[in-house]
């Protein structure tokens, strides 16, 4: 009995890593993509959010399982199974994905600070970067558990910020249900769908979760302890993805219900103003606070993932400040030169979508390897679904390129 109690407590103790990874699914890039989708196409792309969230749940579980079963993060496992030139090329694309990730998160934080306090975008970006550095210091000095609590608290702030409007004005149930039917309406809807996928099934979260699970619990031996930890991980991922999915859906429903056909809602600032006009200043304040929490939490999580990717692939680590500046500076440059911030957010999510196959293909391949995973190898149907996710996203990207070049 004492052994069973100890293992059960270990299972409950596992709850948390998925909530850190889930921050990646409610970052400012999601806000821009989902608000744009709802404002332009109403409820047309509801199905994309549902599909992306289901995909994300499976992917995040496979990532955590890889870390628990092998004791290796996904970047480390990729390093172990590739030659040096391939490994370096792989790291370059992962670094570009990290830069695109930080762009969305820093720009989103800067926009939120301008909405709340009227700060210039560049100053807001600097403040967002500085706060994210402080959060990383907390993780470095106080440990992963404290970092998880801080990030989970910010996730709750994000959820309240975006779900509150649904209690003020509920969307029409019939139109929401109609949005579950998969379809597109022109090139722009494909672009936004790709951005929504890139913002939901985020590559850096896939890399990160394997390391988070491993760092918390190491490499438990096969047996009752591992089975309970994997079961707890399924609950952890399920609850975290449910929260993230609800927030993403709320973003789109806010726009579809209140902003469709309203001029000047193609930016976060315009959407914020329109939400305030339609639902009142309190809801608009919640919207801005949720956006700020999203930017602050997600940029620190993204930087954490970037450090894990570099360490895992190259066996190299840099001081925390240097690592933070690598991805922060491009975001500050975008703010300084005056690029439209909301459009930059959407495009950054498209870039992330192109990085998804590079994370998914090795993840599915490694977790389907019986020599590596033993009894915890993916079931055949799980592998089929995993390969299907990678194929769907890759094909969508190919279609996007074709339509963009030929329109």
In the structure, what pLDDT confidence band is assigned to residue 199 with cuts at 50, 70 and 90?
A: low
Whether 180 shows a pLDDT value over 90: the answer reads yes
In the structure, what pLDDT confidence band is assigned to residue 221 with cuts at 50, 70 and 90?
A: confident
Q: What is the pLDDT of residue 86?
A: 86
Whether 102 shows a pLDDT value over 90: the answer reads no
Dist. CA 392–CA 278, nearest whole Å: 37
Whether 347 shows a pLDDT value over 80: the answer reads no
Residue 54, token pair as written in the block: 């289901």
Residue 367 CB neighbour total at 10 angstroms: 25
Whether 5 shows a pLDDT value over 70: the answer reads no
Dist. CA 216–CA 144, nearest whole Å: 8
In the structure, what pLDDT confidence band is assigned to residue 4 with cuts at 50, 70 and 90?
A: very low
Q: Name the region of 264 (left: φ>0; alpha: ψ -120 to 50; beta: rest).
A: left
Query: Per mean pLDDT, which range of 25-39, 197-211, 272-286, 338-352 is the poorest?
Result: 338-352
Residue 159, token pair as written in the block: 């959820």
Highest mean pLDDT among 20-29, 92-101, 146-155, 174-183: 174-183
57 within 8 A of 194, measured Cβ to Cβ: no
Q: What is the pLDDT of residue 237?
A: 94
Q: What is the pLDDT of residue 403?
A: 66
Q: What is the pLDDT of residue 288?
A: 94
Residues 155-167 pLDDT 10s: 999 999 999 888 8
Residue 347, token pair as written in the block: 């495009």
Count of the separate structural domains present in the chain = 1
Whether 218 shows a pLDDT value over 80: the answer reads no
pLDDT, averaged across the chain: 86
Bigger pLDDT: 195 vs 290? 290
Residues 202-217 pLDDT 10s: 888 899 999 998 888 7
Taking residues 283-305, what's their average pLDDT? 91
Residues 223-268 pLDDT 10s: 888 888 898 899 999 999 999 999 999 999 999 998 887 887 777 8
Long-range contacts: 385-388, Cβ < 8 Å, 24+?
385/58, 386/58, 386/59, 386/62, 386/360
CATH code for the domain of 133: 1.20.1740.10
Taking residues 345-359, what's their average pLDDT? 79
Integer-rounded Cα radius of gyration of the chain: 20
What domain range includes position 323?
A: 2-406
In the structure, what pLDDT confidence band is assigned to residue 320 with cuts at 50, 70 and 90?
A: confident
Taking residues 287-316, what's their average pLDDT? 90
Inter-axis angle of helices 341-367 and 46-70, nearest 10? 50
**Within its chain, how far is the Cα of 375 from the centroid?**
30
Taking residues 255-284, what's their average pLDDT? 86
Of 107, 47, 108, 242, residue with least CA distance to 163:
242
Taking residues 53-63, what's their average pLDDT? 94
Taking residues 147-156, what's their average pLDDT? 90
Taking residues 177-187, what's their average pLDDT? 91
Q: What percent of the chain has pLDDT over 70?
A: 94
Q: What is the pLDDT of residue 407?
A: 62
Whether 404 shows a pLDDT value over 80: the answer reads no
Taking residues 274-280, what's their average pLDDT? 89
Taking residues 300-325, what's their average pLDDT? 85
């Amino acid at each position: 009995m004492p052994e069973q109690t100890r293992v059960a407590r270990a299972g409950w103790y596992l709850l948390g890593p998925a909530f850190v990874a889930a921050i990646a699914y409610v970052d400012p890039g999601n806000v821009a993509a989902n608000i744009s989708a709802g404002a332009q196409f109403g409820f047309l792309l509801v199905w994309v959010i549902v599909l992306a969230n289901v995909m994300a749940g499976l992917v995040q579980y496979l990532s955590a399982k890889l870390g628990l079963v092998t004791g290796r993060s996904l970047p480390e496992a990729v390093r172990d199974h590739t030659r040096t030139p391939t490994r370096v090329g792989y790291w370059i694309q992962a670094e570009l994905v990290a830069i695109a990730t930080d762009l969305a998160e820093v720009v989103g934080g800067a926009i939120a600070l301008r909405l709340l306090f009227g700060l210039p975008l560049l100053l807001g970006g600097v403040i967002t970067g500085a706060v994210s550095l402080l959060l990383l210091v907390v993780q470095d000095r106080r440990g992963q558990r404290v970092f998880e609590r801080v990030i989970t608290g910010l996730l709750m702030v994000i959820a309240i910020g975006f779900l509150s409007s649904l209690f003020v004005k509920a969307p029409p149930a019939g139109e929401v249900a109609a949005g579950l039917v998969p379809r597109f309406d022109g090139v722009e809807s494909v672009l936004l769908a790709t951005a929504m996928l890139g913002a939901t099934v985020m590559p850096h979260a896939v890399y990160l979760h394997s390391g988070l699970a491993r760092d918390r619990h190491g490499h438990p031996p096969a047996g009752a302890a591992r089975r309970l930890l994997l079961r707890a991980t399924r609950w952890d991922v399920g609850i975290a993805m449910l929260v993230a999915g609800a927030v993403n859906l709320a973003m789109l429903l806010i726009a579809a219900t209140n902003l469709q056909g309203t001029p000047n809602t193609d930016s976060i600032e315009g959407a914020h103003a329109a939400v305030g006009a339609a639902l009142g200043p309190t809801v608009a304040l919640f919207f801005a606070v949720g956006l700020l929490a999203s930017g602050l939490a997600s940029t620190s999580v993204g930087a954490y993932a970037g450090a894990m990717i570099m360490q895992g692939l190259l066996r190299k680590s840099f001081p925390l400040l240097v690592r933070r500046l690598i991805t922060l500076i491009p975001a500050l440059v975008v703010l300084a030169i005056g690029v439209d911030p909301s459009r930059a957010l959407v495009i950054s999510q498209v870039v992330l979508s192109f990085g998804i196959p590079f994370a998914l293909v090795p993840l599915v391949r490694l977790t389907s390897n019986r020599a590596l995973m033993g009894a915890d190898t993916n079931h055949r149907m799980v592998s089929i679904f995993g390969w299907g996710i990678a194929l769907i996203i890759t094909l969508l990207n190919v279609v996007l390129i074709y339509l963009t070049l030929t329109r």
